[in-house]
A and B are shown apart, each in its own frame.
Chain A
Amino acid sequence: MANLRDHMGRPIVAVTGIGVVTSLGVGKADNWAALTSGRSGIHPITRFPVDHLNTRISGMVDFLPSSSKGASHLTYELAETAAQEAVSEAGLESGDFGGPLFLASPPVELDWIDRFSLYNSDKQDAGAERLLRVARGLKELDVFETTQFGSIADRLADRFGTRGLPITLSTACASGATAIQLGVEAIRRGECDKALSIGADGSATAEALIRFSLLSALSTHNDIPEKASKPFSKDRDGFVLAEGSGALVLESLEGALARGAAILGIMRGCGEKADDFHRTRSKPDGSPAIAAVRAALADAGLGEDEIDYVNAHGTSTPENDKMEHLSLSTVFGERIGSMPISSNKSMIGHTLSAAGAVEAAFSLMTMRESVIPPTINYDNPDPAIVLDVVPNKKRNAEVGTVLSNSFGFGGQNTCLVMAREPV
C-alpha cells in the first residue's frame, strides 16, 4: 500500500486526468503521436493578413470552431476541450466536478474586431467618446464578457460544476505551472480532495504578435516554419508564438485510490522564485531560476541525482536557453551533460499562458509511455550549451521523475516535479 502522505506529512497529490490541445491536434493521442515522431505544428499564419509583419509563422490552433472568433472565445474553447478530456479520463461527471478551478489564461482586452464594429456602427463624435456612447447602448453582454478577466473561468465553472470562486491567474509564461501549483497546494492544505487546473491560451492575435515582435522576442525564420523553433541551437532567434491548452485533474492520492481511479502520475513538488532584475531579462547569474528549481526539488523531497529527465522551458530565445542551461548546470553539476533535457516548444512553439500546463501533460505522458519526445531542429548545436537535448529523434527510456521548468516575462519562475509512481 502506497504512502498517502509525503515527506512533509502533506496529502500526496495524484493526477487522474490529462487533457491537451496544441497546434498538433486535439487530445493526447494525436499530440503524442506527432510529438514522438518529431512533427512540428508551426505553420504560416492564415488567421489574419501578414502584411508589414516581420514574423509570419505561428503555432496557432486554427482548427476549432472558435479559432476565428477572438481571443476570449478561443481561450474558452481550448480550456473546455482540454478539461473535458481530463475530466472524462478521470471518470468524473463533467457537470459536477466538485472541486475548485484554477485557470491560467491570458489577460483579456476588447478585440479589434469588436472595437471596429462598435466604432463604425455610427458616425457621431469620435474616438473613445464614440466607443463609450455606443457601448452603453448594447443590448447583449457578449462583447462585455470578452473584456472581463473572470468571465472565462466563470463559464468553465458553470460547464464543469467546479466549486467556489474560480481563480484566474497570470504569471506570464509560467502561468500554466502556477495553475497546477495552486491546485496542488489547495489539496495539500486539505481545502479540497480534488482540483481542476487548466492553462489555456488562444490569444495569438495580430496585436499580440506585433507586441512580442516589437520586443524582439519572436523568431523571424519564416521560410520553413517547422524549422523556426530551435531551442538550444546556435542560430536560435526567438520563440514562436503559439496557442494551446493543458488540463489536469488533481486529486489527493487517498481520494483517488478510494474511488478506484487510475493514477496517471504524482505531483511531487512545486517551487517558485521571482526575479527582481529586469522586466524581460533574467538575472545574469540565473539565481532566481536556480532557486526555483531547488525549491521544487526540496518541496518534492528529491535530491539533484533523483531527476531522470528535464522538460525544459526551452523557448528558443537566445536569452532563455542560455540562462536555463546556466541554472540547470548549476543545480545538477556534472551530471547535466548526461541527463536528457528536451523542449516540446521545438514542435508546438510557445503556448504562453498554457505552456506550463501543456508541458506538464507531456511530462506525465513521457513517464507513462517511457518515451522522451525530442528537441527537433537541433542541427546546429550551440557550443556554449552542452546538453543532451534528445536531438531530433524520440528516445525510449524509463523515466520515473521529471522536472518541468517555466520561466516568465516579469520574472515569475515556477518549476514542477512529477513522478510516475507514488513513493
Chain B
Amino acid sequence: MSSHDVVITGIGLVSSLGEGPDAHWQKLTRPGLEPVLEAERFAPYTIHPLPEIDWNLQIAKRGDQRQMETWQRLGTYTAGLALDDAGIKGNDELCATMDMVVAAGGGERDEAVDAAILAASESRNDRDVLLNEKLTTELRPTLFLAQLSNLLAGNISIVHKVTGSSRTFMGEEGAGVSAVETAAARIRSGQSTHVLVGGAFQTEHSDMLLGYELAGYLHRGPWKPVWQRQGAEGGGVVTGSGGAFLVLEQREHAKNRGRKIYAELGPVVSGRARRRQGELNSEIAALLKQAALPDGDLLTISAASGAHAATAAEKAVLDANPALAVRAFSTLTGHMKEAQFPFAVALAAMAVDRGAGYPAFDATVERPFEGAPNSVLATAIGYHQFEGLGLVKAA
C-alpha cells in the first residue's frame, strides 16, 4: 500500500437495469435476473434500452439539455452520478483541479435528414449537389456539437465544472481501457490527484447499430446470453444503452478528505493483438500474466461482447485458467462499446467493496463463486480490436 495508490471513490452507472451502484448491485445479485429487452423497435435486432431517466437530476439547466442529444446527456448524467457518489459534485475547488479522460465514439446524426437525402438520391445523379442543397437548409446548426466526440467531455466541463484537464480517447472498447489506464498512470506518477474517467453509449439510433452491422457483428433472432451466441444467426453482439464513470483518486487524497473507498485499482494492462494473424488468444493470455493475478479463486467480470471470434477466444483463454469464475455482464446490459471497460471495473469494485460475488449471469456456462472476493479481475476484449484487463483489489 502506498500513498500514490489508485483508489476508486466514485461510481456512476446507467444501464437498462437502472442507475447507480446500489440499483445495479440489487439487481445483479438476484439469481436468475431477466434482462430488459426491446426486440421490436430495431428488429431484427434486440437491444437493451435506456431506463427512464430524469435528466434534471444531473443536468439542471434545460438549456444545457437542449444542446445535447441523448448520448451526451447520458454521459453527462452518468458522470454526474459518479461525481455525486465521490462527494465532488458542487465542490468548486475539487472540480477545478480534477482531470478527466472520456472514452467516446460519436453522437447521433439527424436520421430524418439522412433518410430524406437517401430517398432523394434514388432519383438524382447529382448526389453531391443534393447533399449541399439538403444539408445547408435542413441541418440544425447546433446538432454538430451534439455529434462531436470531444463534446461529451466539453459538456461535462460546462455542466459539472470539471476543468483540470479534458481529454477524449476514441476507439471503441480500447478507448475505455486506455482512458482508465492513462488516468491510473497519472495518479500513480503524481500528475493527478483525482480523475473522472468513463464513457457512455446510446444504441437506440440506427447509425449506432450500423457501426457494428457494416461488418455483420450484430446478433439476430431470439436473444441469448453472451456465451451462447456462437452459431446463431448474425454476429453475436447485442447492444445496450448505458454508461459508466469512475472517480479514480490518489489514496492519500481520498483519505485526507475522508472519503469512502470502494476498492484499489491495481494493474491495468492493454494490448493490440494482430487478430488476422491469430494472435488474440496468446495476447489475452499474455495480458493475464502481466496483470499479476493473485492465487486462488478469482471472480472475473468480463465485458465480452458476444462477437463470435473475440468471445470464443476470450472464453478459451479464461476456461484454461480454472481459478477464474467468470461473469459476462453484457448478457444483462448489452454491449455498451466505449463504456464496457469502465463498467467492468465498476462492477468489480462493487463486489470487492461489498465482500460478495455475483451469482452466475448465465448459469449454464458460468460456475458458482462462493466467498468474499479480495480481488476481482475486469476484462475488455474488443469485439473487433484492442484488449485490456484490470485488477481491482480490496482497499
Q: Chain A interface (Cβ within 8 Å of chain B)?
A: 48-54, 105, 107-110, 112, 115-116, 119-120, 123, 126-132, 135-138, 141, 143-144, 147-151, 153-154, 157-158, 164-172, 175, 178, 182, 185, 188-189, 191, 206-207, 210-215, 272-280, 288, 408-412
Per-residue contact bits, chain B 144-160, to A (CB 8 Å; 1 contact, 0 not): 11011111011101100
* Residues of B close to A54: CB separation below 8 A: 136
Instruction: Knowing A127-B119, A150-B172, A166-B272, say if A53 contacts B158 (CB, 8 Å).
Output: no
Instruction: Give Cα A351–Cα B107 distance, bound, in whole angstroms.
Output: 22
Instruction: Give Cα A120–Cα B387 distance, bound, in whole angstroms.
Output: 36
Is B141 interfacial (CB-CB < 8 Å)? Answer: yes
Instruction: Knowing A50-B132, A51-B129, A120-B122, say if A149 contacts B170 (CB, 8 Å).
Output: yes
Is B74 interfacial (CB-CB < 8 Å)? Answer: no
Q: Chain B interface (Cβ within 8 Å of chain A)?
A: 45, 67, 100, 104-106, 109, 111, 114-115, 118-119, 121-122, 126-129, 131-133, 135-137, 139, 141-142, 144-145, 147-151, 153-155, 157-158, 161-172, 174-175, 177-178, 182, 185-186, 189, 191, 206-207, 209-211, 213-216, 218, 234, 270-272, 274, 382, 384-388
* Residues of A close to B272: CB separation below 8 A: 154, 157, 164-166
Instruction: Give Cα A361–Cα B155 distance, bound, in whole angstroms.
Output: 31
Closest chain A residue to B101, Cβ basis: A169
Closest-CB distance, B270 to chain A (whole angstroms): 4
* Residues of B close to A105: CB separation below 8 A: 170
Closest chain A residue to B144, Cβ basis: A211
Instruction: Knowing A164-B271, A165-B388, A279-B145, say if A149 contacts B210 (CB, 8 Å).
Output: no
Instruction: Knowing A49-B129, A49-B132, A51-B129, say if A410 contacts B207 (CB, 8 Å).
Output: no
Query: In the complex, how many residue pairs between chain A and chain B have their CB atoms under 8 Å apart?
Result: 245
Closest-CB distance, A416 to chain B (whole angstroms): 14
* Residues of A close to B133: CB separation below 8 A: 51-52
Query: Are the C-beta atoms of A154 and B385 separated by less than 8 Å?
Result: yes
Given contacts A157-B272, A175-B150, 8 further A-B pairs with CB under 8 A are A107-B149, A119-B122, A150-B175, A165-B174, A166-B272, A189-B191, A215-B144, A275-B157
Closest-CB distance, A394 to chain B (whole angstroms): 34
Query: Are the C-beta atoms of B210 and A132 separated by less than 8 Å?
Result: yes
Closest-CB distance, B133 to chain A (whole angstroms): 5
Instruction: Give Cα A408–Cα B148 distance, bound, in whole angstroms.
Output: 12
Instruction: Knowing A144-B214, A149-B105, say if A215 contacts B141 (CB, 8 Å).
Output: yes
Closest chain A residue to B139, Cβ basis: A214
Query: Are the C-beta atoms of B167 and A171 separated by less than 8 Å?
Result: yes
Query: Are the C-beta atoms of A109 and B153 separated by less than 8 Å?
Result: no
Query: Are the C-beta atoms of A52 and B136 separated by less than 8 Å?
Result: yes
13 A-B contacts (beta carbon < 8 Å): A53-B132, A135-B210, A149-B170, A149-B171, A150-B172, A150-B175, A182-B182, A210-B136, A210-B139, A215-B144, A274-B163, A274-B166, A411-B163
Query: Are the C-beta atoms of A171 and B168 separated by less than 8 Å?
Result: yes
Query: Are the C-beta atoms of B100 and A274 separated by less than 8 Å?
Result: yes
Query: Are the C-beta atoms of B185 and A141 separated by less than 8 Å?
Result: no
Query: Are the C-beta atoms of B384 and A168 separated by less than 8 Å?
Result: no
Query: Are the C-beta atoms of A171 and B214 separated by less than 8 Å?
Result: no
Instruction: Give Cα A409–Cα B168 distance, bound, in whole angstroms.
Output: 13
* Residues of A close to B213: CB separation below 8 A: 132, 135-136
Query: Are the C-beta atoms of A144 and B215 separated by less than 8 Å?
Result: yes
* Residues of B close to A169: CB separation below 8 A: 167-170
* Residues of B close to A126: CB separation below 8 A: 115, 118-119
* Residues of B close to A148: CB separation below 8 A: 171-172, 211, 384-385
Query: Are the C-beta atoms of A167 and B121 separated by less than 8 Å?
Result: no
Instruction: Knowing A206-B131, A408-B150, A410-B154, say if A165 contacts B121 (CB, 8 Å).
Output: no
Query: Are the C-beta atoms of A158 and B171 separated by less than 8 Å?
Result: no
